[in-house]
Amino acid sequence: MHSSDRERILLAGVVFAVLFSQLLLYPGVGTLVETLGAAEASSSVAATELDASMWFLVAEFAAYVAFVGVWGLASDVTGKRTPFIVAGAVAGAASYAALAAVPSIGSIPFEGVLLLRVLQGAMTIGAFSLTMTMLMDLEGGHGRNMGAAGIAIGLGAALGAPIGGQLTEVDPLAPLLGAAALLLVVGALVTRVEDRTPTNKRTARALLQGVRKRPTLSIPYAFGFVDRLTAGFFALVGTLYFQETFGVGPAQTGLLLACFFAPFALLQYPMGALSDRIGRTIPIVIGSLCYGLGILAVGAAPSVTTAAIAMISVGVLGALVSPATMALVTDIADESERGVAMAGFNVAGSLGFLGGFLIGGTVAGSYGYDLAFLTVGGLEILIALVAVPAFLRFSIGRDRFTSEDRGRI
């Protein structure tokens, strides 16, 4: 096995561990926030189980948005990635452990729990984003590298959800302790990979200006935003929808979520390799149109069985879109700006998760689940239609960029 293949597998394993630890909390988030004090809180952020769950998830992704750019910029400026990943993983593990200790302390208001959640998110996003940037630094094809990242993300989510549901039924705090342990493993694993950060260091100002001069980055950012919005929607609203509509518990909910994440994970690498051969336009644009229709089908499913089938189809379509979108970031960005460029993509993705929680939770709470599914599925379809002229104008759907193309866009 070539060294780059081994490093690709190891880095994908790190991404998997971070996402797995994150998704452990999702199927039982309602039970978890109650254990952490939401039930006794008098604050408006914990007025209902939906409100407390929504703000618990929002706190993490708000920290992602606020701090991911700091990590990426620091990495590009210093020409290092590994030390920052280790620091983020270890501090994230400590934050998860601190959250697990809250019930034994007994005097922390729910707002304090949310602050701990912000700290945990601020640290975890450093390990996640910079590991993905290390994958960008590898040779072997941008689609393949981002396909490896995508399969790790999908597998982490696919396995984290059902296992998190099982752990919650054993002890609501078990997912927090499991997440802390996994992040310590992340900190150890990443030290076994060569740090291939480009050595041509630039100032923070020059890096930011370089990214701003590439407006076509806004296209994969926009798709990343909407794609993650749908993921955030399913993580919160989808979880509660399945439980209320079909009467399933956390464990069964985790299995339903896995119906999406399993095909989403397993098909990422071949779909990424496919986009290296045929370009990015068809996987991103056509895939997004069909993906939006699939979301509408999940909301219209009359039974658990049909909902599971619809979730599987959405997972397949998501696997078509995701690696091509991430690879497009690598296609466009200069190698010395990859940390900042990927940070920008993760900012867009984190804002998407926030939108999924806030828009989905608000619409579902005020107008019902049917309109919530229609809103989110419609947004996925809309972004695909709006992006078609941009793909045609800049010819950004090709599988490769020449140096002349890079200078032009």
Q: How many CA atoms lie within 13 A of 216 on its CB side?
A: 24
pLDDT in tens, the chain (409 residues): 456 678 888 898 999 999 899 889 988 888 898 888 876 766 767 767 777 887 888 889 789 888 988 898 888 888 888 999 999 999 999 999 999 999 988 778 888 899 999 999 999 999 998 998 888 878 766 677 888 887 888 788 778 878 998 898 899 999 999 999 999 999 998 888 888 776 665 555 555 565 566 677 778 888 888 888 887 788 778 888 888 888 888 778 878 888 887 788 788 888 888 888 888 888 888 888 999 999 999 999 999 999 999 999 998 998 888 888 888 887 777 777 777 777 788 778 778 877 887 888 888 888 889 999 999 999 889 888 887 777 766 555 444 443 333 333 3
For the chain, helix (H) and strand (E) counts, in that order, are: 19, 0
Yes or no: domain 3-408 corresponds to CATH 1.20.1250.20: yes
Q: Residue 364: what are its φ and ψ, rounded to 5°? A: -65, -40
Straight-line distance from the first to the last Cα atom of the chain, in angstroms, rounded to the nearest whole number? 36
Place of tokens 């709470």: 365
Q: How far is CA 78 from CA 103, 343, 346, 360, in A?
A: 40, 15, 20, 39
Q: Residue 172: what are its φ and ψ, rounded to 5°? A: -55, -25
CA angle 151, 148, 119 (to 5 degrees): 75
In contact, 143 and 323? CB cutoff 8 Å: yes
Helices 3-23 and 82-100 sit at what angle, rounded to 10 degrees?
A: 20
Residues 6 or more apart whose CB falls under 8 angstroms from that of 79 comprise: 197, 198, 199, 201
CA 11 to chain CA centroid, nearest Å: 16
* pLDDT, position 211: 55
Q: How far is CA 9 from CA 15, 131, 167, 192, in A?
A: 10, 12, 27, 12
DSSP string across 277-319: HH-SHIIIIIHHHHHHHHHHHHHH--SHHHHHHHHHHHHHHHH
Tokens of 42: 């008098």
